[in-house]
Chains A and B, each alone.
Chain A
């Protein structure tokens, strides 16, 4: 445990309130519609099922975790999937991106999911899986405590 603390600041406001927890980090862009398990209109769980496009998260359960990934990808239906999972209590606790895809951003706005992007350092490089992070969606600040 190093407990080194790093503060990342966005160049603009964030979305949602405050959330904290252990981060899970991917180098790949995430699509809820193509990568996350369950049936489209009735999401069953938040497990990553796409081995080809999301090899580093394959098999991981994304429910109630702080997701750090570059951006979203592919398909407007990710909004619907995120919303369906949130109602089941299986949505992301917070999202930290290099740049948030608008489809994800609108889901975060509708559901008040703490979400930040365009930080002063690349979050996918600074944050490692297992680091403790506190996301302030209102101010656009991420506090990282290294594991």
Chain B
């Protein structure tokens, strides 16, 4: 790799061991990815997950956590500072880490949140390089904002934030941002769950070669909402790992199909119609078992907050069911300021403070980690990530196709098959 003088100084230890270590890791990644140079990033984000109350990979009893803590402490010892704006969405509530990160120059921008981009601010802009911590952030920034970012996880984010650089590879390069696979969408997409199912199908089909960028055509661009897109992004990252895609007429780099493909022919084409959508719904169809917990896990935006209220007002959640929802930071503020929270809680809705949390018998739990321990056997959700994430718990997790059906299940205490 060709490094500039500043990068060379970091690599040779002129600014201390912390910058040296960070640059060594970035150079290794760059050489491994055939990057020719480093580029400056305008923004990095660390979404800290689930910390002290147990949960995902970033908790204090995890090796990655220790690895990053040791690195953060080395930086502090040397009085190093992040060279680019670094934000933290504080899902973990880990005050020790927060203090360390603040001393390094990071800003806590959201008191809670989700890995979806609802709560990630400030967004980088078109053409800028960024290092998003949350996978869904990458999948939103590349295709929708035209930001250039790879999904690298917390180690890459830390090293990039400290040095202000990242190796130029993957989605940062022009040639890797062009479409390769044409996806003709020939089905009506009724809501954000349908969009998630569409993303799941495409992501699954391309999972073994995620770098072949799909270009979607056939979308009614006047009807799509930002919620639809974020739901689609969440699924594009799971089960596959599509960090970038293009939608004709929506993605800034795909005003036309010809531009999306850079004037070349697609290497592959496929259609997603009602049958393909059914294939995914069938994978996670409910069996008819009585649900223990019904959740809206894709975070409720303000728009859907009022939809839930409309569907629930004057009704009660069934006594044998926990109905738990996650809210975006914005939706939570609105819910509290305008009395929606009280109304929903009066109906029996349980509101988690942040992503991943569900209230169960007065305890904050993460269904992906705690279901077996607390006795949950059947879970109904709007989230395909839940369907896979809770798999290790050996419980039934079923997907329903609309908010209305999910809420009716919570009210009736049984699911219609």
Contact assessment for B134 and A40 in the assembled complex, using a CB-CB cutoff below 8 Å: no
* A42-B241 contact in complex given A12-B33, A15-B32, A79-B154, C-beta closer than 8 Å: no
Contact assessment for A83 and B67 in the assembled complex, using a CB-CB cutoff below 8 Å: yes
Contact bitstring B206-229, A, C-beta under 8 A = 1, else 0: 011111000000000000000000
- Across the interface, A73 reaches (CB within 8 A) one of B58, B64, B207, B389, namely B207
Q: Closest A-chain residue to B284, C-beta based?
A: A52
For the complex, is A14 an interface residue (Cβ under 8 Å from B)? yes
- Across the interface, A12 reaches (CB within 8 A) one of B32, B63, B65, B239, namely B32
Contact assessment for A102 and B208 in the assembled complex, using a CB-CB cutoff below 8 Å: no
- Across the interface, A87 reaches (CB within 8 A) one of B55, B63, B283, namely B63
For the complex, is A23 an interface residue (Cβ under 8 Å from B)? no
Contact assessment for A80 and B63 in the assembled complex, using a CB-CB cutoff below 8 Å: yes
Number of residue pairs A-B, CB distance < 8 angstroms: 162
Q: Using Cβ atoms and an 8 Å threshold, which residues of chain A touch B50? A: 41
Identify which of B25, B31, B63 gathers the most chain A CB atoms within 10 Å of its CB: B63
Contact assessment for A52 and B283 in the assembled complex, using a CB-CB cutoff below 8 Å: yes
* A49-B32 contact in complex given A73-B239, A83-B67, C-beta closer than 8 Å: no
Contact assessment for B34 and A110 in the assembled complex, using a CB-CB cutoff below 8 Å: no
A115, B239: Cα distance in complex, Å: 23
For the complex, is A114 an interface residue (Cβ under 8 Å from B)? no
Which one of A25-33, A60-68, A128-136 contacts B? Answer: A25-33
Q: How far is the CB of B27 from chain A (nearest CB, A)?
A: 10
Contact bitstring A81-124, B, C-beta under 8 A = 1, else 0: 10110110000000000111111011101100001011000000
Q: Closest A-chain residue to B157, C-beta based?
A: A76
Identify which of A31, A52, A79 gathers the most chain B CB atoms within 10 Å of its CB: A79
Contact assessment for A28 and B150 in the assembled complex, using a CB-CB cutoff below 8 Å: no
Q: Using Cβ atoms and an 8 Å threshold, which residues of chain B touch A37? A: 392
The chain B residues found within 8 Å of chain A, CB to CB, are 25, 28-29, 31-34, 49-50, 54-59, 61-65, 67, 133-135, 150-156, 170, 203-204, 207-211, 237-241, 283, 368-369, 388-389, 391-392
In the assembled complex, 29 residue pairs joining A and B whose CB atoms fall closer than 8 Å, in A order, are A13-B32, A27-B208, A29-B241, A33-B57, A33-B389, A34-B238, A34-B391, A40-B56, A41-B50, A41-B54, A41-B369, A52-B283, A71-B241, A72-B241, A73-B241, A75-B135, A76-B152, A76-B154, A80-B57, A81-B57, A83-B63, A84-B64, A98-B208, A102-B29, A102-B170, A105-B32, A106-B153, A110-B25, A118-B34
